[in-house]
Structure 1
């Protein structure tokens, strides 16, 4: 075997092993209004990513998510809503989703387009979050709290309200962590 070929064969595993692990910032979601929502624009921020739905018993959590976003955005935190019809409680019309969010809850945090969040059709971001943060959503308004490094992910079940003291402490801790 010639020297160049030998180096190539033996160097390839080393190159693959040294590739950096993915972060949440490596993903792009569709934007509710059309176009792309690259999460790279949030690099270094703590994020709360929640799958949402307009016609669910937990839909009033939108108000708490908006308050959370308003309270911590100046400290490097953002909420991102991801509408899904995986649980049959969301409109298929992006305009109707936007109108509902605006008129009912005054949502101004970023909203992704309608996406699958579980199963084989799940958006790659949600597959990443499920693996890193304790599983896929079991219902609407499942929340993933992402540390500033984009790798640390903690999942919170639907029943955890955005203003619960333990949840707020977790948000504070994520914001306090340095970005890497």
Structure 2
């Protein structure tokens, strides 16, 4: 262990953190997602801003939450919040292709927030972001509309299941202190 790692371990121990958590905090990875519009969405581009990542599915009973995700985007986006929808067929409730998903979400819910292409969020084929969240936080989406909040450094702050509405006090109170200061 080098001197820097030793110092981090001592500070982490004094703060009640594990050495692993101290190392994770200093090296939050960035993730690239294929955009539903083509190109890529890169979490590194959003450093300094909180990011709420939500695995979505057009045909899910929770799809009404897309209206609330769009409301978060509209209300807090200008203040720095990024809301990222990750359409997924991991629970067999997504449309057949990205074009259909984009059209459905725009027409039914007025979605203008960033969306990825359709990606797996569970199992061995899960997108690297979801594998990282599983490995570092022990969190795997148990259904559609699970939420992962990242801070401005890309670290996981909190996770919520499908039953927690995006406009809930729990979520708003978790990201509000993370918004960039104007």
Give the TM interval when normalised to the shorter protein.
0.7 to 0.9
Please state how far the C-alpha of 1:170 moved relative to its aligned partner.
1.1
Q: State which of 47, 59, 66 in structure 1 corresponds to 2:63.
A: 59
Alignment of 1:113-128 (within 5 A): 113-128=117-132
CA distance in 1, matches of 2:99, 2:162: 25
Partner of 1:23: 28
1:94 matched to 2:126: no
1:1-180 counterparts in 2 under 5 A?
21-23=26-28, 26-175=30-179
RMSD: 2.1
Asked which structure has the greater CA Rg, the reply is 1
SS across alignment from 1:155: strand
Runs of 4+ in structure 1 off by over 3 angstroms are 17-22, 131-134
Shift of 1:145: 0.7
TM-score normalised by the chain length of structure 2: 0.81
Mapped to 1, the partners of 2:168 and 2:47 lie a distance apart of: 26
Task: Give a deviation string over 1:62-108, Cα, whole Å, max 9, x none.
Answer: 00001011111122111000000000000121110000110011111
For 2:137 and 2:173, the matched residues in 1 are separated by 17
